[in-house]
Amino acid sequence: MSAQSTILFALLVPLVGAAGIAVAGRVSANLRETVTLLTAGGLAVTVWSLLPAVMAGERPGVTVTELLPGVELAFRVEPLGMLFAALASGLWIVNSLYSIGYMRGNNEKHQTRFYVMFAVSLAATMGVAFAGNLITLFLFYEMLTLSTYPLVSHKGDANTVRSARVYLGILLTTSIGLLLPAIIWTYTVAGGGDFVPGGILAGHVEGPAIGLLLGLFVFGVGKAAVMPVHRWLPAAMVAPTPVSALLHAVAVVKAGVFTITKVIVYIFGVDFLFAAPSSGWLLYAAAFTIIAASVVALRQQNLKRLLAYSTIAQLSYVVMAAAILKPLAEIGAAIHMVAHAFGKITLFFAAGAIYVAAKKTEIGQLKGIGRRMPITMTAFTIGALSMIGVPPTGGFVSKWYILAGAFQDDNYVALATIILSTVLNAAYFLPIIYMAWFMREEEAPARPHGEAPWPAVLALAITALLTIAFFFFHGATLELERQVVENLS
Amino acid sequence: MNGLAQHLPALQVVVPMLVAPLVILLRPRGLAWAACTAASVLAFAIAIQLMLSVQNGGPVTYLMGSWPAPYGIELRVDSLSVLLLLVVTGASVTALVGGRDSLDTQIETDRQPYFYAAWLLALAGLSGIVITADAFNIFVFMEISSLASYVLIAGGPDRRALPSVFKYLIMGTIGATFYLIGVGLIYMMTGTLNLADMEFRIHEVADQRPILAAAGFITVGLALKAAIFPLHVWLPNAYTYAPHVVTAFLAACSTKVSLYVLLRFDFFVFQGNLAGHAFQFAVYLMPLAILGILVGSAVAMFEQNIKRLLAFSSVAQIGYMMLGASLVTVAGLSAGIMHIFNHALAKGALFLAVASFATVAAGLRLDDLKGIARRMPWTFGAFVIAGLSLIGIPGTAGFVSKWYLISAAMEFGAAGLPLVAVILVSSLMAVVYVWRILEAAWFGEEAGEPGAPVTVSPVLVAVTWVVAIANLYFGLVPELPVSLSTAAATELLDHLP
């Protein structure tokens, strides 16, 4: 199969899978979940089959149709998108496994709708990852927002509907109100919106307009959750945990930071932005978000909300790394997308497993839970260590590169932010770990419980192992991302 | 065949107009509907054929009775009229095919022949307006279509339609009279009724006061008929209390046809000749367009009845069309004209879905629609797609016109930024009013026993889906509306000095 058709295949597999899941859901739950796993597997095989060619330096692309004169629906696989797609499609398999355990363990309603919309969200994610220009990216970005709405509002009670309204409201408002004008502005001045190494805006905008356009992009991409457009992420925690795990720790939020990184690297161009003083604010905005979100996380009592604020901080790591505008930092940004994904999905899996097994959602309830759920809490510990950046976990690798990039530019703001946030990360994760392992249960639970259903435990064990493995084997990722920056200074 | 083909412009009007009196004679149940639908389908086919000839060979002119213009009546079909013809005939076909069951329940059987005759007269009138090149002929067709629409709107079981149609009648008559006064003044000064001839002759008398008065009368009169803010007050009630299928038909096309006449008159006759008219056109209409967009959307955000909500959204959408036109650039005009087409697709699908909802729900307030999505998942799905198109989500037709409109505003640099802001803010307001409906339908708890899923009329659902898919198709492959509206905009601007 040619690379062109593989790209289109990657979009079609989850969509066809969604239809298959819908049909299978009428037959039996087992068949439905088999179809889900097959679709996830099929998507991963499709996406990963593109990897060798991209590693070898090819950039396969395909133009589907011309939407308007000069505005095309086109896809092009470049290293950043390859990495994002490979990550999301790979983790979807694990997440589907986990979903089966979680959704059955919780006796959730409307499970068919859940799996269908999940598959559609993954199709949208692939579209974002492989988009060859801004308009294609925008199309799939909105599709991702809309297709995740039914997942966030899954429960359907008044509280959930209110939170889902915040979710949708912020994401649509920012994308239509800010991102769309930024995109049209880009098309108007640069005559196109293709992602080109080195950027396309150099010579077309100048002065304060650069900072303004960058601002429209950064805050328009609400999915990156740079403050003050972060409120949707804690709101999205009303979703079932598999949604929080894959979508609001990996696919949706990474689509946000991925878009910002891509815009910086392929639309503005790193060198062009570096030379523009009006773009300097982005670093401070990201640094502020990191610190502020970490401080808010300190005060959270609900485990999932804590993880949400931790995610907000970690996303801004990627944005800040990209905003350092140095090659090593751009690599760090890409690697952090992967490292954080493994760690945070593990943490969410663990939080969900605790909810399924023990029906506990608050941090104060976790005393002594390590003895009842040792595998889950081991995985949680590994994930938390990765968030802090302790070796041997993936989080260390990415922090290393971001720090190295900051040193390249003697960027003390970034350095100080990273150090301070590491301390804060430790301050909110270590007490949980301490409570879980070293404190005694205050009273025995009414219904003694062990681990969550086995598919969920298997899934979180896999991602925990991936978190550690990424520390040792990140050579391929590094090589891939080196290609993004090799023609930078 | 060739002989018949050259008469297509005339047949466009003649077919529905001749079938209309015949329909009255078709008493047996269902026959009137069948004849009316057949005539509509034929009209739609003629419109497609005309579109192909215009795309291949440029504007088509036809001399009634072979009398040369300006002595005889000339029919002239160019890109702009073809676009409108497609909208008018397409809306008629989809509404009739999909709405049969709905109309059967809403219109008493023995009155159906009259109702369908009125439908055909409305169709003939609306098509006539857009193909004729004669100012007085436009008035005649306008009256035919208006009188027929009053009958259609008042034809349903809802007695509240009567006061609303009376209001519409008064306002519509004032509008038409203003137009007639304007045309009369121009005729007095130039001695011609043919638009092309008028453009040519008005130049000599362009500074005379009657001509200036005529321009005022015509603009205001047509603005009334087109429901341009603040002359829109007749529209919401008329749409709300009309039979549901009639709303789907008229909402897609009737105000747009008046807008078409406004554009045609302004650009053909006035813009090139009257000193400062282009400036006045922009300066007076742009603020009205902006106010219409904002006020219409704002009212829709707080409206409880779904049909009134969508009607106020229409007021806002007419504002978009006017805003595009008031920029007086190719990009702006194309955006405005394109939105005529795209908005018809979105609103048509929405009102068809509403017709489905109405057969099941107790009423059409948002509270009555709670939980309807669970009972009518397919109709709801189509409603979602059309709603997204109304908002302007990428991948739908609504996005294409918004993209053009924003690009057109950005051509003005910093001066265009407030316009961009207006468009974006109103898009967000559209998110709010569309989402209010979706949330009620999706999450709302039905009062009483939850009903089982029902399929009312499979044909209606299918037709709604066809229009919804057209929203997606023209969002991804917008070549047809883009090429037609760009050509139309260029033709209009060719008449400027």
Instruction: Tell me whether residues A177 and B425 touch, CB distance under 8 A.
Output: yes
Reported pTM: 0.89
Strand, coil or helix: A473: coil
What is the residue extent of each domain of chain B?
A: 276-497
Q: How far is B407 from chain A (nearest CA, A)?
A: 6
Split at pLDDT 50, 70, 90, the class of B453 is low
CB contact under 8 A, B443 and A67: no
Shortest CA distance from A156: residue in chain B: B443
SS3 (DSSP) at A51:
helix
Contacts of B479 in chain A (CB under 8 A): 66
Q: Which residues of A touch B (CB under 8 A)?
A: 65-69, 71, 73, 135, 138-139, 142-143, 146, 153, 156, 161, 165, 168-169, 172-173, 176-177, 180-181, 184-185, 187-188
Nearest to B424 among A66, A67, A177 (CB): A177
d(CA B35, CA B184): 38
Residue A433's pLDDT is what?
Answer: 92
- The shares of helix, strand and coil residues in chain A, as percent rounded to the nearest 5, are 75, 5, 20
Q: How do the domains of chain A map onto residue ranges?
A: 280-489
Q: What is the DSSP string of A217-279?
A: HHHH-GGG--TTS-THHHHGGGS-HHIIIIIIIIIHHHHHHHHHHHIIIIII-HHHHHT-GGG
pLDDT (0 to 100) of residue B1 = 42
The residue of chain A with its CA nearest to that of B374 is A110
Query: Residues B416-440: what's their mean pLDDT?
Result: 91
Give yes or no for a contact between B290 and B326, defined as CB atoms under 8 angstroms apart: no
- CB neighbourhood size of A363 (10 A): 18
Nearest CB to B424; choose among A67, A181, A185: A181
Q: What gap in Å lies between CA A458 and CA A464, rounded to an integer?
A: 10
ipTM of this predicted complex?
A: 0.84
Residue B283 has what pLDDT? 82
Q: What is the pLDDT of residue B285?
A: 86
Amino acid at B26: L
**Token pair belonging to B349:** 């699908």
Quick one: residue B189, left, alpha or beta (phi over 0 = left, psi -120 to 50 = alpha)? alpha
Q: Calculate how close chain A gets to B341, using CA atoms only, in Å.
A: 16
Q: Which residue has the higher pLDDT, B494 or B144?
A: B144
| Partner residue facing A142 (CB), from B393, B443, B479 | B393
The tally of CA atoms less than 13 A away on the side-chain side of residue A372 is 23
- For residue B147, the distance in angstroms to the closest alpha carbon of chain A comes to 40
pLDDT recorded at residue A452: 81
Which pLDDT score is estimated for B180? 95
Q: What is the pLDDT of residues A146-168, one digit of tens each?
A: 999 999 988 888 888 889 999 99
Q: Which portions of chain A are predicted below pLDDT 70?
A: 1, 446, 487-489
Residues of B in contact with A142 (CB under 8 A): 393-395
Inter-chain residue contact B388 with A146, CB threshold 8 Å: yes
Strand B74-77 with A61-68, pairing: unpaired
Take residue B67 and report the two structure tokens written for it.
């009398």
For residue B417, give the chain A residue with the closest CA.
Answer: A181
Using the Cα atoms of residue B92, residue B96, residue B99 and residue B104 in order, give the sign of their dihedral.
Answer: positive
Q: Of A65, A73, A181, which has the smallest distance from its Cβ to B406's Cβ?
A: A181
A476's tokens: 């391929």
The answer to whether residues B223 and B262 touch, using CB atoms and an 8 Å cutoff, is yes
* Residue A92, min C-alpha distance to chain B (Å): 25
Where on the phi/psi map is residue A195: left (φ > 0), alpha (ψ -120 to 50), or beta?
beta
Say what the pLDDT of residue A135 is. Answer: 92
